[in-house]
Structure 1
Amino acid sequence: MTAMTTTSPAARRSAELEPLIAQRPQDFRVLTGDRPTGALHLGHYFGTLRNRVRLQRQGVELLLVIADYQVLTDRDVAEHLAERVDDLVLDYLAAGVDPATATIFTHSSVTALNQLLLPFLSLVSVAELSRNPTVKDEIAHSRQATVSGLMFTYPAHQAADILFCKANLVPVGQDQLPHLELTRTIARRFNDRYAPVLPEPDALLSPAPLLLGTDGTKMSKSRGNAITLGASADETARLIRGAKTDAHRHITYDPQQRPEVSSLVLLAALCTDRDPHDVAEDIGSGGAAALKRTVTDAVNEHLAPLRARRAHLARDRGYLRQVLREGNERANTIAEQTLRQVREAMGTRY
C-alpha cells in the first residue's frame, strides 16, 4: 500500500475531509483526470477510478479533464490522439462515471482554461517548475531526444485545470502532493497580488494500492506491463501467467521482502474484497502457478460487468463524442466565468 504518514498535515487534513464529504457532499467540487496516452489499466482502476465513482455517487460534483495538450510532449502518442481520447471516455463510463452529472472534457476544447496558464506562469519561477518531481520523472522516461518547453509548464497547466473550475478537492496519491502544493501556491500568490478569486484546494489522500506491472516495475501504460480494463479474459490470463514472481514456493504477503508476489496477492484481494494475508494463506504452498490462477479468476470475475458495459458502449462511438461535446460545453461555461473574474482582478478587461 502507498505509505501515508498519519502525522503529516496533508494526511491529517485528508482524514478530516472524509466525514465532511459524507455530511455535505454538495460543498465539494472535484477535479481530476488523465493524459490520453493509452487505455486505462488495473492500477488506474483501483488507484483512482473507483474512488472517483464513489465520490460522485456520494453527491460530489466531479470534473474529469482529458489532458490532450499534455500529450503533445510525446509526439508518437499524439499521432493516435483522437482514438486515445475516445478510449478514456469509454473507460470512464464503463467504470461507472455518470455523464449526466460529471463533466468530462478535453484541454484543447476549453480556451479560457488555457488562457489562465499565462498569468499562472508569471507567478512561479523556472526553478519551482523544474524541480517538480513529476516533471523530473517525465523527463527521465521521455522517449524524445530533447524535452519541449511544454513539459516544464506541466505543473502550472495542472494548476489551471484545478483552478479554472475552482475545485476545492483533488484526489491524489502521496507522490502527487508537490503538484497540488504548487497549485495552492499559485492560488495564494494570485489572491495576494490581485484579489481573492481562487480557492486553495485540499488534497484527498487515500491509501491507494501500489500494484506493480507484470515485469515487477511500476505499472504503466508506456512500459507495456499493464492489464488494461478492456483486455479480454484470455489476454488477462496470458499476461498474468507471464508476471514476475520469485523462487519461493510458499506464498506470503510481504510487500517489502516479496514485492512481485505481494502485488499479485493484493490484486486478487482487491478484486475479491478480502484481506491480502488471507488470500496468501489460502494459496499457501501452491506456489506461483496457484497464485496466478487465483489472480486470473479474481480479475476476470471482478471486471466482467465493466467489460460488458465497455463492449456495449464501444459499439456507439457517436455517443462517446456526444458525452464529450456536452462536457466541453459545461467546462467552457465554467472557465469563461473564472477567466472574467481573473481578468477583472488583474485589470485586464478593456
Structure 2
Amino acid sequence: MTTSEDILANSTNEASLKRSMRRSAEIEMAIDEDPSRFRVMTGDRPTGRLHLGHYFGTLRNRVLLQQRGVDTWVLVADYQVITDRDGVGPIRERVLGLLADYLAVGLDPETTTIFNHSAIPGLNQLMLPFLSLVTESELHRNPTVKAELEATDGRAMSGLMLTYPVHQAADILFCKANLVPVGQDQLPHVEQTRLIAQRFDKRYGRVDPERPVFPRPDALLSQTPLLLGTDGQKMSKSRGNTIELGMSADETAKVLRKAKTDAERVITFDPVSRPEVANLLQLASLATGEAPQAIAESIGDKGAGALKALVTESLNAMLAPIRARRAELEADPGHLLGVLARGNERANAQAEETLTEVRTAMQMMY
C-alpha cells in the first residue's frame, strides 16, 4: 500500500534528482571553461575484478575528466572491504588488480592521485569529529545502509557498515574535493557529505573567515545508461554475470554466447519490451560509438546469434589495448606498488594539512 509519506518522499526525490541533473549540466560547462576550479574524488572497493559496468559507468569518465584538466583523486577503498564481511579475501591481489585496471584504462599517476584508505591515517581520523555531526537515525535512513540491513536477514550490522556514509564523507572532504561523479543511487551520500561539511562550519567555525574548512561538494551525474548483466539482472561481481576487463577474448566470447536474449528473430532496440536485447545493443553502441538503433537495423532478421557475434567482436576490439597493457602491468607488481606509494605520499600530505585546519577550528591545537 502506498502511503502519503511514500508519495511525499518520491516527489521530494524526483525534485532533488532534477536539481542534481541541472547542476551537473552547469558543472560540465564550467569544467570546459576552467577545470582548475574542480577537484574530483572517486574510487572503488577492491572486492573483485572490475568489469564493463565499472568501465562504462565510471572508469572511462575518470580518464576523460583527467584529460580535461580536472584534478582527479581515486581511492582504493580497502578499509571498506570489511564493512559488511567477515574477511577481506585475497586483498593484496585485488588491490594490485585494481591498480592494473586503473592504469590500463588510462589513468595517469603523474596527474591523478591514486591512494588507499589504510595508508592515510589522517583521513580516517576525520571520522571522529564527523560522527559527532550525524545522528543514528540519519545513518539508518541512508539507502546503502538500509539495503544492507534488509539483505542481512536479521544478522547484526557492523558499526563500520552503519557509519559507512560518514567514512565516505571523510574520503571526499579530507582532500577538499568539490566534485563527486556518481549514479542516481549515490546522490544521498553526496547530500550527507554536504550536510556534514555544513554542520562542521556551523558548530566549529572557520580558520579563514572568507571560506569554510570544507567545501560543499556537488554530484556529477553519470550519463551512461544502466547496464544489465548477461543474465538480464543487475550487473554484479557476486552474480558472475559480468565481462571483466581482465578476461581474454575467448572468455568474453564464451560469456556472451550464454547471454540472455528472447525468441524474436528480428533485432530491434526496445529497452522496455526487450531489455536483454537492448542491453546487448547498448554494449555494442558503447564499444563502437554507433547508435544502438542503427546497430539493430544492420543485424535485422539475422537473430540473436548475429547480435552476440557483433557484440563480442566490438567489445574485444575495444578492450584489446586495455588488456595488453593490463597484462604488462600485472607482470610488474613493483611498479604498481610504487604508483600507490607516491599517491599515498600526496594523500597523506593533504590529510595532515586538512587535520591541522580541523584541529584549529575545533580549538584542539595544544
The alpha-carbon deviation at position 94 of structure 1 amounts to 0.3
Q: 2:96–2:330: 8 Å Cα contact kept in structure 1?
A: no
Q: What are the Cα deviations for residues 85-112 of structure 1, in whole angstroms up to 9, with x where unaligned?
A: 1111110000000011111111111000
Name 1:233's counterpart in structure 2.
Answer: 249
Name 2:352's counterpart in structure 1.
Answer: 336
Residue in structure 1 matching 2:160, options 150, 162, 172: 150
Residue in structure 2 matching 1:61, options 71, 74, 77: 71
Q: 1:37–1:77: 8 Å Cα contact kept in structure 2?
A: no
TM-score, normalised on structure 2?
Answer: 0.91
Greater alpha carbon shift after TM alignment, 120-129 vs 73-82: 73-82
Name 1:83's counterpart in structure 2.
Answer: 93
The alpha-carbon deviation at position 203 of structure 1 amounts to 0.8
The alpha-carbon deviation at position 192 of structure 1 amounts to 1.0
DSSP-derived class of the 2:316 partner: helix
Distance 1:156 1:199 in 2: 16
Name 1:271's counterpart in structure 2.
Answer: 287
Distance 2:180 2:274 in 1: 32
Amino acid paired to 1:213: G
Distance 1:297 1:244 in 2: 18
Greater alpha carbon shift after TM alignment, 135-144 vs 78-87: 135-144
- Say whether residues 1:13 and 2:13 are aligned partners: no
Distance 2:17 2:120 in 1: 39
DSSP-derived class of the 1:33 partner: strand
- With over 3 angstroms needed to count, the CA separation of the structure-2 counterparts of 1:238 and 1:176, relative to structure 1, is same
The alpha-carbon deviation at position 73 of structure 1 amounts to 2.6
Name 1:314's counterpart in structure 2.
Answer: 330
Is the radius of gyration larger for structure 1 or structure 2?
2
The alpha-carbon deviation at position 74 of structure 1 amounts to 4.3
Amino acid paired to 2:47: T
Amino acid paired to 2:345: E
Name 2:48's counterpart in structure 1.
Answer: 38
- With over 3 angstroms needed to count, the CA separation of the structure-2 counterparts of 1:144 and 1:299, relative to structure 1, is farther
Name 1:347's counterpart in structure 2.
Answer: 363
Q: What are the Cα deviations for residues 109-133 of structure 1, in whole angstroms up to 9, with x where unaligned?
A: 1000000011111111111111111
DSSP-derived class of the 1:78 partner: coil
Q: How many residues align?
A: 347
Greater alpha carbon shift after TM alignment, 19-28 vs 135-144: 135-144
- Specify every segment of 5 or more residues in structure 2 that has no aligned partner in the other structure, as ranges: 1-13, 206-211
Distance 1:341 1:236 in 2: 50
Residue in structure 2 matching 1:170, options 177, 180, 185: 180
- Say whether residues 1:206 and 2:247 are aligned partners: no
Q: 1:6–1:12: 8 Å Cα contact kept in structure 2?
A: no
Residue in structure 2 matching 1:29, options 30, 36, 39: 39
DSSP-derived class of the 1:62 partner: strand
Q: 1:63–1:103: 8 Å Cα contact kept in structure 2?
A: yes
DSSP-derived class of the 1:8 partner: helix
DSSP-derived class of the 2:100 partner: helix
Amino acid paired to 1:20: A
Amino acid paired to 1:13: R
- Say whether residues 1:222 and 2:232 are aligned partners: no
The alpha-carbon deviation at position 145 of structure 1 amounts to 4.5
Name 1:123's counterpart in structure 2.
Answer: 133
